[in-house]
Structure 1
Amino acid sequence: MKSRYLLAALIAAASVAPVATYAQTAAPAQDAPNPASQIPAADKQAIQSYNLNDDVFNRIVKVSQEAKQQGIRPKDAKTDFSKIHSLDDLAAQVTAADPRIEPLLKKYNFTPRDFLLANLAVTNAAIASEAKKNPQMAAYVDQSKVNQKNVAFYESHKDQINALMAQDDGGDGR
């Protein structure tokens, strides 16, 4: 499968992923407010229990490719964390950032919430995978909240994801 631009598919979730990730895996900095603390436990559980698979991954890639073609860029979205108290609030801000986002997600059978869940599951899996070899990061990862199936999925797709990330960062991604 030739796929590029996975991170462009994050739309605005790229800037938000750490929020939901830290809601599950990291202790907030003592001097900084943690917007993820506003996310309800049910939403945190939904992220943790979301199971990645090839269908979801392939649809994320397709959204990413089309978003890139349409000029939808995650860095253009502005997120007001003071107004985010749930994944639904986050989804509303993401889709409000650009009127092309919601129809694009719908085209690939994602609701905005489902798209965020999938991307946050990938992000959490990436962090948990990295924590295996990074003792400093491991100190912030609550292993009891790690979805090991998603970590395995991420690791089996890591080369492809890294190539896509390099493409998004201006590299050739090959």
Structure 2
Amino acid sequence: MKFLALGARPLRRGLSAWLLAVAMLISFGAFAQQGPSLPEADQQAIKNYNLNDDVFNRLIAATKEARAQGIHPQSPPNAAQVHNLDDLTQQALKADNRIEPLIKKHGFTPRDFMLANLALMNAAIASQAKSDPETAKYVDQSKINQANVAFYESHQAQLQALMAPPQDGGPAPQGK
């Protein structure tokens, strides 16, 4: 996706797994690495989306509920059918008819949910680029919302707790 200029370079394994979970089964990560660029207006909407605790907590709750319902990461959307953010969102919703009611339950419109996830993904990749020169080559800093990067970095422990495997067969640790 050109808003980060990632090209086809794969993300680190842990970050990829985290993004898939936080994206709650919507495969924008694969789209970002392989798909066409979104229009400039959509890129700006992603950059201008401001993450906050309310959005973050709802994303976490939706992710946990998706896991509980057995909703799994989907295959990448058909890039030939994705010309903008709305197309990407519709492709994601078609993947499993349980996704839309779930995200609505957590107070998101489908588009807002996609924007929040893409903003979080953008922040995660930009954060990774700070310590990974190889990733940094592919990040267009003009497309990065630095406030979102700081927000992401301040919530990394919670995200790691979300990704931790369940212990003793119980539920995964709760992130707040």
Q: Retained in 2: the 8 A contact 1:10–1:64?
A: yes
Q: Retained in 2: the 8 A contact 1:9–1:65?
A: no
**2:36 counterpart residue number:** 36
What is the number of residues matched between the two proteins?
154
Deviation of residue 139 (structure 1)?
1.3
State the TM-score, normalizing by the size of structure 1.
Answer: 0.78
| Alpha-carbon separation, structure 2, partners of 1:42 and 1:71 | 34
Aligned ranges 1:104-123 → 2 under 5 Å: 104-123=102-121
Q: Deviations over 1:42-73 (max 9, x none)?
A: 11111111100000000001111111111111
The equivalent position to 1:11 in structure 2, one of 24, 27, 35, is 24
Unaligned runs of 5+ in 2: 1-17, 167-171
Q: Retained in 1: the 8 A contact 2:123–2:144?
A: yes
Q: Retained in 2: the 8 A contact 1:129–1:155?
A: yes
Deviation of residue 90 (structure 1)?
1.0
State the TM-score, normalizing by the size of structure 2.
Answer: 0.78
Unaligned runs of 5+ in 1: 23-33
**1:160 counterpart residue number:** 158
Aligned ranges 1:1-174 → 2 under 5 Å: 7-13=20-26, 15-17=27-29, 19-20=31-32, 34-37=34-37, 39-75=38-74, 77-167=75-165
Any idea what SS the aligned residue of 1:74 has?
coil
Q: Deviations over 1:129-155 (max 9, x none)?
A: 111111111111111221000000000
Deviation of residue 88 (structure 1)?
0.7
Aligned identity (percent) is: 56
Higher RCO structure (Cα 8 Å, ≥6 apart):
1
